[in-house]
Structure formats: structure tokens, C-alpha cells
Structure 1
């Protein structure tokens, strides 16, 4: 085969290198990496890699029989980028960079900017062309872009968190095969999400990663959708399909750390290039991973480019940023002597703070309607506050405090709930300090924490009724929503990435009744703006009685901007029926019963009840008006007024 090498016609200009060195080249992923192109009469691929401390670099691959000396790259100054155009290289060809270090070692590295990778356990990069992805989601993208300022907060967001490799599997395969492809997922996932009524899916484990057991949180390919489920074109097809069916897509994104795998970013050119050089800053003792050097402009540029690729190239609607707390605190997971204070003697990572402000203002500024979501587990102030006011400028923050309090309460025997009533009300005392998402994620159903259903006290049907009451409370509470796959039908076993969900449980009426209940909650959530449009505003929520601890009953109202179709929630968290229950109400009006958890379609007694309740002048819960409602054991009722 004849190869043509022509470095004088490289893709990377001096201006590219200037912007890259300043950390503000937001399209550098179109220059670094492997990009099919034509140079003169030669069709081929332009390869470029940043390896400033390398002695020499070669491209090796399936196209040259992995010859280690035939294709040496040319070094470009001042950044230390190596570049080479090679003709007759085709899409799908595998390749790596052979890096000779200053001390003479040979490193065989995957391309940090690769758009595609060999299926694990292989570790090579693959040539791909993502410049011609096909899209027909214009209506979705135009509607997204029309969300100005705080309009995004006024939209419903009920997220279905999915691990694609274990949602469903083809029967008869080994544990690490049988995956649905991106194109199969597009059809099947869309069908399920639409049927249930979720507004978004959040996908785990999309950026390429070598070890299935990391669930995708130890990334080696920040620009490549994992090859486990197909090609970049297949991935784009799935996003396009979901958008055409009016389903938003959020991806997990991991800028906090990366693994030590020999083919990955660790000591990329023989030195600590992507990670902090000081191990007290550059390593996570607990996780055995490397920490990005957020003070290095080229590293920040790498991460910013990755975020922009997913949002702009693949039309992703938002990124859920993993392990934000581990980035903000220099002493996260470290003992004394294992970390280095900042210049003020504090434990804050000032470089990571600046990176977040840059990241969030950039992504959302260039892409109105896109969202940036922080998984931040501490009380760090102003995570969703504006950068100009000293905040980090995330769109939303996962409400981990609410989640822990909620689960602590729900796991209790109902007898002891009266002494822990405040666990369910405390989150409202800080609800308006951030823009929150309430989450019951994959992290809560692994590592011997039990499935959601098996966290519930009691035996038999009591577990299901408990969980129904919990889900209703969650759906009514201010904040956007997230449920992990399997939780909506009562998965019994803990989640494992090695197997699909136990879908056969839906043949049991207890599980199908639970699923029907969650579907009804999601339907009400989307239908009534009072459920979502004032999540972050005090006007959107009103306690009727937050202090009924003795009976473990919570009652509250969700208000909409229009003043119409407000919703009254009543949730009973004990197995005691309250036939004499009376609830105070804000107005003398008629209250229409929208949801009754005792309905036969949810596995309840099915006792016939009035549809409309007229309030009367009878003081209750400190209100002049009230009406009576027979509240069943673990009963939930939602009324519209």
C-alpha cells in the first residue's frame, strides 16, 4: 500500500495553538484526534496529539500492520502537538500513538480525542467521521434554544436514569454480551419512557471506558460513545430518535478523575500531563484514580471540548457532572498529610472552582436551554448561583440531603416515624437556596443498600404501599425528579451491571400495580404546571400541616403561576386507617380527587369514593375551611382546586 505523508499541509494553525495554549479553543476536538480529510489528491486521515514532554511520537495501526517506525509524527511548537497526515487510512481502522519518553520508554496510548474505540478488552482507538452525522430533530433543538434566562426552570423534568447495558439484554448471551444496540435502545427505551410519562432519560456509561464494573465512571474516551452498543452514527441515531419523540437526553460526565489504565491518560507522555504532578493533589487514595490538573490550560481545554462535543455535536440536552465535591475539596477522601492546602491555607480547590464557572457559563451560554447538573453532596454554597455573584453556575444540583433524610424515614418501622417527622420536612427549610433535583439514583440500590422495595419496612403488600406513599411524597415535593430504572416497578434485587432488570416481576400484580401508580404520578406531574413551574419559588409550595407527627401524615399544596389547578397532597405513612381525617384548605372551593392510592387499579380496596369534595367552614390545621376524607392505611390522595 502507498502512503502519503504531508505535514506541510497540516490541520493545526498557529492560531489554533495559541487558543489551545490559552485554554479557550472550544473547537479543538475538531483538530486534535483523527480526522478524515483530503490533502491535494490524497484521501486519508490527519492525526494530531498533544504530548509536549515526549521525545518522539509515531502513529501505529491496522493500516500499517502496527509498524512502529513507518509513520513518525512532526512536532509543532510551542505547544508540543504532534501531527501527521496519512493517506489511504479508512474509517474503522484501528490505531494508537507510540510515544517514546525522554528516558527511552515506549508507551502505547489510545487517542485522548478519539471519536470511537475498539470494543473492550481491546484498547485501540478507531478512526471515525462525526462531521456527517444525520439529524432530523430540528423542532426539538429549536424549542430547546428558545428557553431564555430562567425559562428552563419552569419546565417539567422527570428523569429516568438508565444504564443501557443492564436495562434489557438479549436472552441467551454471556453476562458481558447481549447488549441492546443504540438503535434497538432508541425504539425500546422511547416506547417505555413515553408509556410511563418521563420527560428525560439520563444515561450512565456512555463515554468510553474499559471496565464494566466501573459503570462508566472511569473514563478513557472523553470524546467517544462506548462501542459496547454501536458506532457514533448509531449513538446519534438514538439521540435523534428520542428527540423526535419529545424526550430529553442527559449524559453522565466525569471530569473529576480518570483511571490508571496503561492505554489511557495517566502519565500520557511519560510525565503527569493530564493529572496534577504532586500525588497529594493528583491521586484519589480511595478510588485509585488520577485527578485532572485544573490549573493547566490545555487540560481545561480538553474537558471543555468534551462537554461541548456532547452538547453541540451529539445534541445532548444536559450533562450531569459526577463527583463535584471531590473536585471542590482538596482534602476529599484524604487524611492529614495526603493533601496540600491552597494559597490561603484552605481546602478549596480554587482551580476547580474557576473551571466550573468557565464550564457552565460556556456550555449554557453557547447552548440556551441546555442544562448542567451537579452531583454535589456537601453544603457548598451557591452551586446553582450565578458566577458573577460567586456561584458555580450549575443549572441544577442533586438534593442529596433530601435523599438521605427521605430514605432514613422510609426505612423506619411506621411506629418510629412519629419521632422522625422532621426528616420529611427539613428539606423545605433550605429548598430555595439552590435549584434542586430530587434523586433516587443507582447509588441507592447497590453495595448491599437493598433495592427501593426491600428498604421498606413490613411484609408483603405493606412494602408496596409504603413505597407508593414515598413516591407520591417525592413527586409532590418541590424539585425536579429522578428515578433509577427498575424502581418504578419494584425491582427486588439490587442493581447489577451484569444482568438486565427483572422484567418478569411485572407478571406479579403487586409490581404491575406499583408501576401503574408511578405512571399515574408522572402523568399528573406533566399535566399540571403547579407540580413544576415554581419549584424554586416560595409561592409554589405551602404546608397545610407539617406537624402531624403523631399520625405521620403530611399535607401540602403545590401552587401554579396562574392560580388555577393547584394541587393538594395528603400522605399517610402508617398502616392505620384514618376514617375521621379532616384536612384544612386554603379556600372555600370544590376539591376534585385526582389520585386515590386505594383505587383497585393500584391494588387498593377499590372502595367507591366521591370525586368532588366541597370544603366547609370548619376550622382545621389552622385554616377556616376544611373537608373530610377517609384516609386509608398508607393512603395517598391528590386533589385539584
Structure 2
């Protein structure tokens, strides 16, 4: 293949490895070692490479134009040298731009790219990757701990912890707590801490806040060796308007839409990628591939998918243009997402491609050849919204909103869902997860335990943002760290122990994850007891073994609550959120419950159990219930 054979593919929107050509790469020209530079700037009049090494002289290292692409070579530069592209636009104005394909950057508030050479990193995660390949997510446990690296933990003086120390501490903690995956809020380089990474300037650069690109590889490698998957939040929906970024890169709308009414999310203050430009598609495909291939990332959670799918997203009246069929669907974005997912699965058949999609768009987690978008998982935003609404209600009024905890089963198997309780629900005056609960702090923790058990029991994979496991009642702030001091108190220690035990229980019970995506793994037993605010259902594994979950969302203790069950001889208590170990009262701690020949809820037999206030109890069936002889009567 010739040196420039990739260019045609790039201009057609098919190049998913453009980072191998664009940006800055070490090279030798005419016996001199140096760096090759390459950038796409179709409307530029002139482009040069500038930095301290040439006193920011725009005439010292000019680049040659090859169609819409500019190239240059500079000898004798050292790794970590800071540089930018000086781009003279069609309007004659100079713009200093960071490298769109730069692998490393200065640390904010500085904004230049830095030369970085990927050496042969010695990965040690082969055993982990093979194990993942042998255990596809569809019939495996997935319990995700969502993390913002800048506020999980800090040094005592408030400084960030670097990637390697974060890896050591986080891997130990996550493994101890029983999660098997982490999801990172975007670590793609971003200028503003308060954006949490969702307004990116470096689509190929892990943020330098915590170290170098190789340090981040070490981070991932270490978590993999500890058996923990790493999912990265990735933002192809929009980009920030910071001067050094993609914004009007060559003086024209280069990466964004050209039509003014379509080029910006006014509510977010960001520009929107133009999915009709093949070069933009190549850029985004290459970014996704870069993280999956170069960094061994296990999955991408694609942010704000709904904003990509709808041309009228966040717009009113005539502030948008319909597609060629007169509809509101962004056909180019749909094609991009399908192409993205097909590419991702061609790289790693076990990759997690997760859509944050908040509408009823059909077949999000279905393969492209079945008419789907091609993701294999989708956040269940409806469930999250319903639960947040329900949890904040005074218990008296919950009886009138019972559908908040049952309606999700009307569509639970329409997609491959992840049940998230994400960072978005613990900011902007929404309060922490604990803070959503009614009553005093001790009662709030009781509610938290019952709710978390319900989350683990409900069909779908699991995600919880950091904080509830220490009993955090303050709303999350990205500028501090979690309230680790709560673990010095008994309630904090007990809550921490609960999350460890609940996660271990989830991982051990195949019924809670082997069949997450169809009705054969779930059966309602009590769905309509809104007066008592109780739901009871069974989860089943592939072998047909059942686990009964009884959940009480009320402040009342129910003694002898009867519901139908399967024809087992008895049921043993498998887990109780009201254990004294967790700060509870030991209500419902009866270890064995006999099955009675009393019909209930469509079953020929039933059990009567005690259900604690705001609590959840799990029961496992044992043995076979003897059939009644003709002369026997029911108890």
C-alpha cells in the first residue's frame, strides 16, 4: 500500500485509523530524525507548526498543502515538546489550534499539544481478555461502579492523584466492594474541570491531569490484571467552543454543521458534529478505535445519543431543518452510529457499546442487520427517572405512584438494558442518592439498602455512581472528594459492609444475571399491592432455579405477608437488607420458611414471610413439596 492510499478512504468516511497518519509522529527524513505533522484544514490559506522551539514564529516551520491536508517535517524535536498549529483561515485571521489528533497535551490552563511517542507498552492482561471473551455479557454479571477520577479521592492538599496510584487504590477498592467493572466519566482531554470531561478538546489524549498516556495504559492494565473491566464515557455528540479546539478550526465550520440553525446546542454552549461530512466520520471512528485498540478499553458508553438522533433535539419551532424525507430523524447520525458499532465489534466481539439514549427510539441495542443501531446495551433512563421520582415521595403518597416501580417491566426486554443510578442524578440540586430518601439519616440508609437490593434484583445490568456505598448524604461535587470520613462512623461502616455483601450476593446468584433480557428469567408474583407498597417477583437462572425477591417500599413492617411460590418443600432466607450487620433490626431473619398448601397469586402453594420496613428479602427454594393425598386438607 502506498504512503497516501489512506487519503481516499479518509475523504470517503471509511478511515477508522486516521490517527496513524494525522497528528505528530516520529520519522526520519534524509537521515535526520524528527517529527512528521499532518492536519486537515480544507479552507486554510496557510498552516504552520509553532511553539517555544521556534519562538511561535509562523514562518519558521510552514506546512505543505496536499489537497485539503497539510503536511510538514521538523527535525531534532524532543518528546513532550509543546506545539500548536497556526492556521490562517479563509478570512485571513490566525488561529492557534491544538492538534485534533494529538496524543498528549499540556495540563490546563495551558492548552498546547505535546509530542508523544508510543513505545512498546508491555501489556499483561491477556488472561483477562481471554476470560472476557469466554463470558459474554449477555449471560454474565455486570455491576458497574461509575467513577469521576478527579473527585473519587484526592491528596490531603487537594491535588489530583496520578493514574498509577489511582489504579492501585481503585482496583483494590472496587474488587473489595464486589464490582466487576468501572465506568469513567470522560478522561479525554478537556479544558474545564466543571464540565466533568463532557466538553472535550482532545479526542485522542487522556487528560494530563493525572499523568501521561503510558500512565493511563498502566492504569487500564492494572485494573485488567485485577479482573476489572474499564468502560470509557465517549462524547461524539458535540464539542466545546474553546479557541484551541475543533471550533471553526480553519476559519470555517470544519467539524461542525455549516447551517447556523443546526450547528449549536444552545443549552450546552457547544457545537454539533456534522455527520454528513465524511472526514468528520473518519475522525470519530478513529477516536473510538484508538481507545479500543491502543488502550484496551473494554467498552464505550456513548453520551447523549438522543441529541444525535433527532434534528429537533432541544429546538423549538423552525430552529431546525428536516431530513430529505421531511422527518426529524438525523439520518447521517444514524448511519454513523451503525458504522461505529459495526467497527467496534469487528475489533472486539465482546466489546461493550452502551448507548445513553433517553427516548423510545426502537432497536437501539439490536444489530445493524436487524435494523438496529448496533449497540449491545442501553441505559434505562425511564427506569432511572421513575425511581428517582418515587424515592423522593413521602411514603404516604407512594401508594398513588405504584407504577413507578412496576411500569419498567412493560418494556424491560425491548432492549438490553443497563439500570443506571448515574452522576446526573446526584448534582444540580437533585441531592445524593441517600438524600432522596425520606426521614432521618438512619431511615434514609434503611431505604438505600432496600432500593439497592431492588436494583440488583430487577432485570438488567447494573450501574451505580460512586458515593452511596459510604452513605454519602451530601450532593456530589466534582471539586472535592467523596466523604470518606463517613466510614469512621458506625452507620458508614455498616452501609459499606452492606454494599460489599449485596454485591457479593449478586455475583453469586446466577438467577440475578443469567437471563436479564427476556421473560424466561422473570415472573411477577405480587405486582399490584400498591396499598402496602410491596412487590414480589421471581428471578430464574438458565437451569430454572428460582430466587424470590420481596421488596417493601413502605415504613411498615409486614408480619406473615403471604404470596404464592413454587412447589418447593421450603424456602431459605438468602439475603436480608435489615440485618443488624447493616444497621437494621433483624426483621425477617427467619432462616427457613415452610411452604404451605395454600393457593395464592395464581400458585397452588404459598409462603408467609416477614418483610422489614423499607427492606428487601430474598429466598431460595429447597427440596420438592410433597403432593397432598386425597384425604388431606389444606392447612
Whole-angstrom distance in 2 between the partners of 1:473 and 1:608: 16
- Shifted more, 102-111 versus 232-241: the winner is 102-111
Whole-angstrom distance in 2 between the partners of 1:632 and 1:509: 21
Query: What SS does the corresponding residue of 1:623 show, helix, strand or coil?
Result: coil
**Deviation digits for residues 609-631 of structure 1, max 9, x if unmatched?**
44232312122222111222222
1:346-357 alignment runs, 5 A limit: 346-357=327-338
Return the offset for 1:37: 2.7
**1:243 pairs with 2:228:** no
Return the offset for 1:468: 1.1
Out of 103, 106, 124, the residue aligned to residue 118 of structure 1 is 106
**1:595 pairs with 2:575:** yes
Whole-angstrom distance in 2 between the partners of 1:146 and 1:622: 39
- Shifted more, 508-517 versus 399-408: the winner is 508-517
Out of 154, 163, 187, the residue aligned to residue 169 of structure 1 is 154
Q: What residue in structure 2 maps to residue 127 of structure 1?
A: 115
**1:100 pairs with 2:81:** no
Return the offset for 1:607: 6.1
- Shifted more, 393-402 versus 589-598: the winner is 589-598
**Contact kept in structure 1, 2:470 and 2:483, CA below 8 Å:** no
Out of 3, 6, 13, the residue aligned to residue 23 of structure 1 is 13
**1:377 pairs with 2:367:** no
Return the offset for 1:608: 8.7
Query: What SS does the corresponding residue of 2:105 show, helix, strand or coil?
Result: coil
Q: What residue in structure 2 maps to residue 542 of structure 1?
A: 523
TM-score, normalization by structure 2: 0.96
Q: What residue in structure 2 maps to residue 53 of structure 1?
A: 43
- Shifted more, 93-102 versus 380-389: the winner is 380-389
Q: What residue in structure 2 maps to residue 615 of structure 1?
A: 595
Query: What SS does the corresponding residue of 1:518 show, helix, strand or coil?
Result: helix
Return the offset for 1:12: 8.3
Q: What residue in structure 2 maps to residue 185 of structure 1?
A: 166
1:303-322 alignment runs, 5 A limit: 303-322=284-303
Return the offset for 1:64: 2.3
Return the offset for 1:409: 1.3
Whole-angstrom distance in 2 between the partners of 1:44 and 1:101: 27
- Mark the runs of 5 or more structure 1 residues left unpaired by the alignment: 1-10
**Contact kept in structure 2, 1:169 and 1:179, CA below 8 Å:** yes
Return the offset for 1:569: 0.6
Whole-angstrom distance in 2 between the partners of 1:326 and 1:589: 53
**1:557 pairs with 2:533:** no
**Contact kept in structure 2, 1:588 and 1:616, CA below 8 Å:** no
Seen in structure 2, the aligned counterparts of structure 1 residues 609 and 328 have a Cα distance that, compared at 3 Å, is closer
**Deviation digits for residues 291-325 of structure 1, max 9, x if unmatched?**
00101001000000000000111000000011000
- Shifted more, 591-600 versus 550-559: the winner is 591-600
**Contact kept in structure 2, 1:134 and 1:237, CA below 8 Å:** no
Whole-angstrom distance in 2 between the partners of 1:129 and 1:562: 51
**1:633 pairs with 2:601:** no
Query: What SS does the corresponding residue of 1:84 show, helix, strand or coil?
Result: strand
Seen in structure 2, the aligned counterparts of structure 1 residues 606 and 374 have a Cα distance that, compared at 3 Å, is same
Q: What residue in structure 2 maps to residue 152 of structure 1?
A: 137
**1:138 pairs with 2:119:** no
**Deviation digits for residues 140-178 of structure 1, max 9, x if unmatched?**
22333445xxx33111111000000000010123xxxx0
Query: What SS does the corresponding residue of 2:385 show, helix, strand or coil?
Result: helix
**Deviation digits for residues 198-237 of structure 1, max 9, x if unmatched?**
0100001300000111110000000000000000010000
Seen in structure 2, the aligned counterparts of structure 1 residues 451 and 254 have a Cα distance that, compared at 3 Å, is same
**Contact kept in structure 2, 1:251 and 1:319, CA below 8 Å:** yes
**1:488 pairs with 2:469:** yes
Whole-angstrom distance in 2 between the partners of 1:518 and 1:543: 26
- Mark the runs of 5 or more structure 2 residues left unpaired by the alignment: 622-635
**1:37 pairs with 2:17:** no
Query: What SS does the corresponding residue of 1:580 show, helix, strand or coil?
Result: strand
TM-score, normalization by structure 1: 0.95
Query: What SS does the corresponding residue of 1:96 show, helix, strand or coil?
Result: strand
Q: What residue in structure 2 maps to residue 7 of structure 1?
A: none
Query: What SS does the corresponding residue of 1:604 show, helix, strand or coil?
Result: coil
**1:576 pairs with 2:576:** no
**Deviation digits for residues 432-465 of structure 1, max 9, x if unmatched?**
1111000000000000001111111112322111
1:327-346 alignment runs, 5 A limit: 327-346=308-327
Whole-angstrom distance in 2 between the partners of 1:40 and 1:133: 28
**Contact kept in structure 2, 1:144 and 1:370, CA below 8 Å:** no
- Shifted more, 359-368 versus 303-312: the winner is 359-368
Alignment length (residue pairs) = 621
Seen in structure 2, the aligned counterparts of structure 1 residues 101 and 411 have a Cα distance that, compared at 3 Å, is same
- Shifted more, 418-427 versus 504-513: the winner is 504-513
**Contact kept in structure 2, 1:281 and 1:340, CA below 8 Å:** yes
Alignment RMSD: 1.5
Q: What residue in structure 1 maps to residue 627 of structure 2?
A: none
**Deviation digits for residues 115-149 of structure 1, max 9, x if unmatched?**
000000001000111252331111122333445xx
- Shifted more, 87-96 versus 385-394: the winner is 385-394
Query: What SS does the corresponding residue of 2:404 show, helix, strand or coil?
Result: helix
Q: What residue in structure 2 maps to residue 510 of structure 1?
A: 491
Whole-angstrom distance in 1 between the partners of 2:119 and 2:358: 38
- Shifted more, 31-40 versus 436-445: the winner is 31-40
**1:62 pairs with 2:62:** no
Query: What SS does the corresponding residue of 1:616 show, helix, strand or coil?
Result: coil
Out of 604, 613, 622, the residue aligned to residue 584 of structure 2 is 604
Query: What SS does the corresponding residue of 2:599 show, helix, strand or coil?
Result: strand
**Deviation digits for residues 324-382 of structure 1, max 9, x if unmatched?**
00011111111212111111111111100000000011111221111111111111111
**Contact kept in structure 2, 1:144 and 1:368, CA below 8 Å:** no
**1:75 pairs with 2:65:** yes
1:353-432 alignment runs, 5 A limit: 353-432=334-413
Query: What SS does the corresponding residue of 2:90 show, helix, strand or coil?
Result: coil
Return the offset for 1:40: 4.6
Q: What residue in structure 1 maps to residue 417 of structure 2?
A: 436
